[in-house]
Structure 1
């Protein structure tokens, strides 16, 4: 989910850590967001009340501008309102209001109008914004035109190796932050000029242990009609350079986009200051250590000499592709397995055989690790999957998408009762509901372009609409579920439990002993119920029996729980690899 599994900042990038962004982003003081509005400047602008007029000088950009325009309003200038608004939206705490509209071919020098028709978070409309002194700033998440191989032409944000984060994406246009009194009743327009451009990200440098890779994908470039890129961060074992003939097994650490090393590896002591989303990690329990402690273990003489890899595969819709082919993202599964992994195996002396490729990951990375093992059963040698996004869509969090009629309302409950929650703490106290998250994503972007969690699932699992954009599983305003979309997701292999049931005779023999799944019993995002359903099926298998393992953190263990430290997990996976190695294989990498 969107709550990344790391705490540290991306080294050298200037970007804040995304830890709280997989399945889902932590801490919520939820507030309602309104319906969808698409708007450009013109005679139809709403009359009366607060309005912002935002323009792009011809000297800054000479061509028409298409994208998503945000107005952030903050109590201070540090951080800048665009950054404060982005962080507030992703954390869903509602502390920094922002409003947004779509821009479609806005001409240089012409003003886009943000007025009563704009939608916002946490305030639905500008008229609800409390009057007062604010620091105000505008930013546009610039869209690129893609003429895809499927015949559709769409506009979406071309990731700039920032992980679909509109406040930080190089090339996005923004204004100076100004301090001004804002009154929703005032007809006086507030004018902002997009005179600044977000600078390129300073990517971290390679060192003895960590290498960064970025390659052009010909497969994806042909499909998207635009140059597309894949990448990886590679963590090398001790003695790698001193043993030029040695070959090593690989652990793929599946995760969101990140320039950090796998498992947070670092040789620098952790920052003692406050860390974003640290509370969720403390609530989850478990034994996962800091990246610094993991790094100390990795460098010891007794540690197994493995290569660890974190793959990067951002799309024009989200910070990662979920590692699979999909109708909306295109052939990412093909590109990863036919281009990226072969490149890595050639470049870093990996053994390059199925027994020596294993995976792990949590949340979104948990789903990826399980999905790739299931859909490429002979390519990988095993997965250790933690708190995965829903793996059986009869529990799509708490909804049964095949039987329920609404994502917002619990079936057969009287009107007026609390709606279906989206997030809780490990005590079971709800911290936000599906309606509120849906409305937040409406504000972040139209047509599946919010880079939020609900849209990420629609993009990955769902069909393409007639307009070329993703069809949604549910209407973000009403919550009404589209049964046709649900069945598409099921019938195309994204409901992993259903897929395994339908195909066990074919894939089961190649999965024996390879599936290991773990989650907290009180996962913040209600992920345990789908794991229970998956376990129920796999434990019922015969001819062959699946021969894997399930484990649950109890009592009251939340999102992020795992039963071992990452260092201990490496040892477990190393022994698994060794036990499946063909006779005569060099196992000197074990120590």
Structure 2
């Protein structure tokens, strides 16, 4: 019995040794993919990130199926890669949703590779970083002009086999096609001198302008402006389409519709499709660029009323946070905001993560057990759709050093400090989830909007009376309603002065919940302007 027991221990020791020597896996795969580009793509070495995408279907190209709930992909950084040289994707490369190549089920797949080019930025703060330069596509490597992709191949993948699959990226994504101006829709794109100086590279910002009915017929008439914030888009505000069947077209062109100039702003950064419209240590002076370069250009070219009461804000999600933040930080410039499902107005719940109390971004820790932190839920049932660890793994596969173009990374780039390597100092480790309390404190002191208002209400509050309106579903997909609750909790108790705004909730509403249409929103804004306008104003001419 003693001998059998000793043999058992010996055998288990061998198993454990094998596990550790193989990197924690019982069965490593010898399957590998080698990806290169030809000399016709570039005569100089390239730096960037190479992606391998596989899909079970080819209704669209595999690269266009990548997403939060999309198809399987892997990514690997490369530096100064010459033509003909290869980037390897193998069993050690992190993937998403399946992390390891060895765990991909044997079968037939459609395979494609994409080369995402990085640009060297020698910033004015002394740091040199390599990032993807947005090409007016909104920081999407799957369709960014200048990126290079391979033909789609149908192959059998069997992780149990020792095989090398060679792919070559040869097809260059063409430039974005920007629609021509029309009677209704105009566009502006300028090089920002402020941002160009910060990044050491030309940086562009722009706007899409929707003109009101009768604009050309009344050359002396001035109009209030509504700025709709949100993710990068060159589409017109409020999804306006020059089609009589379009619902908002009917609202916008109706004889009794309030007359506004509506504007969406484009301000992608090397970190994200949107800069969050504020000055930040990692992205640079986007707030200054928008308010000192872009909006003055808009107001010079179009007949906008250049007074605060006639500049209104709105937006949802990212745009919800931006519209609220701009109203708070530029209280004398804007006359009111209607912010829908805003990103965290208070950081005690950042897509499930309490940055002030949690020690780890991937799980909640109680006395005897740990529970995975949910990141996304299904509003109808409350079921978890993604955990925080899954969401962050997806971003890490999209890009290291915060270059994923993902939501958690962009918050770190906007809200966080610069790290020693020139990229942002992360709130938490993307691999382990461990939170850095010093970074959490930086977030709080610089960008926690509820905390800012609490500290400064005596001075900023009088400038915000009647201007703050927040709309949110109580079952927001990303738990954004909890930050809204914190903000309402504070604002509802304000005195000297009372905030005088509103909070509107949908009891079972998810992230896209809206209590009224865009046409109805403009009527609410119109009434607000007439209420807030000074006695001797241009409102009578405008509306």
1:62 aligns with 2:35: no
SS of equivalent to 1:388: coil
Corresponding position of 1:113: 88
Corresponding position of 1:175: 150
Closer, same or farther: CA 418–55 of 1 in aligned 2, 3 Å? closer
Contact 2:352 2:478 in 1 (8 A): no
SS of equivalent to 2:393: helix
Corresponding position of 1:566: 518
SS of equivalent to 2:404: coil
TM superposition shift of 1:153: 0.3
- Tell me, in whole angstroms, the C-alpha distance in 1 between the residues paired with 2:500 and 2:256: 29
TM superposition shift of 1:421: 4.1
SS of equivalent to 2:161: coil
Corresponding position of 1:232: 207
TM superposition shift of 1:52: 1.0
Contact 2:454 2:490 in 1 (8 A): yes
Q: Which has the higher contact order (CA 8 A, sep 6+)?
A: 1
Contact 1:304 1:589 in 2 (8 A): no
SS of equivalent to 2:188: strand
Corresponding position of 1:153: 128
The one of 541, 550, 564 equivalent to 2:494 is 541
Q: Which runs of 5+ in 2 are unaligned?
A: 1-27
Corresponding position of 1:460: 414
TM superposition shift of 1:416: 5.5
Contact 1:392 1:495 in 2 (8 A): yes
Contact 1:425 1:431 in 2 (8 A): no
The one of 250, 253, 262 equivalent to 1:308 is 262
Q: How does 1:357-372 map to 2 (within 5 A)?
A: 357-372=311-326
- Tell me, in whole angstroms, the C-alpha distance in 2 between the residues paired with 1:443 and 1:317: 15
Q: Which runs of 5+ in 1 are unaligned?
A: 1-46, 271-291
1:373 aligns with 2:327: yes
TM superposition shift of 1:588: 4.1
SS of equivalent to 1:410: strand
Corresponding position of 1:40: none
TM-score, structure 2 as length reference: 0.92
Closer, same or farther: CA 329–574 of 1 in aligned 2, 3 Å? same
SS of equivalent to 1:439: helix
TM superposition shift of 1:502: 0.8
Corresponding position of 2:378: 424
The one of 92, 106, 121 equivalent to 1:131 is 106
Larger Rg computed on CA atoms: 2
The one of 42, 67, 77 equivalent to 1:102 is 77
Contact 2:364 2:370 in 1 (8 A): no
RMSD value over aligned CA atoms?
A: 1.6
1:447 aligns with 2:401: yes
Q: Indicate the larger mover: 52-61 or 350-359.
A: 52-61
- Tell me, in whole angstroms, the C-alpha distance in 2 between the residues paired with 1:448 and 1:559: 25
Corresponding position of 2:530: 578
- Tell me, in whole angstroms, the C-alpha distance in 2 between the residues paired with 1:430 and 1:392: 22
Q: How does 1:112-511 map to 2 (within 5 A)?
A: 112-268=87-243, 292-412=246-366, 414-415=368-369, 417-492=371-446, 494-511=447-464
Corresponding position of 1:93: 69
TM superposition shift of 1:589: 5.3
Contact 1:355 1:380 in 2 (8 A): yes
- Tell me, in whole angstroms, the C-alpha distance in 2 between the residues paired with 1:520 and 1:225: 42
> How many residue pairs align between the two structures?
516
Closer, same or farther: CA 355–417 of 1 in aligned 2, 3 Å? closer
Contact 1:49 1:184 in 2 (8 A): yes
Alpha-carbon deviations, 1:131-186, whole Å to 9, x = none? 22222111011100000011100000000000011111000011111222222233
Contact 1:70 1:99 in 2 (8 A): yes
- Tell me, in whole angstroms, the C-alpha distance in 2 between the residues paired with 1:186 and 1:269: 59
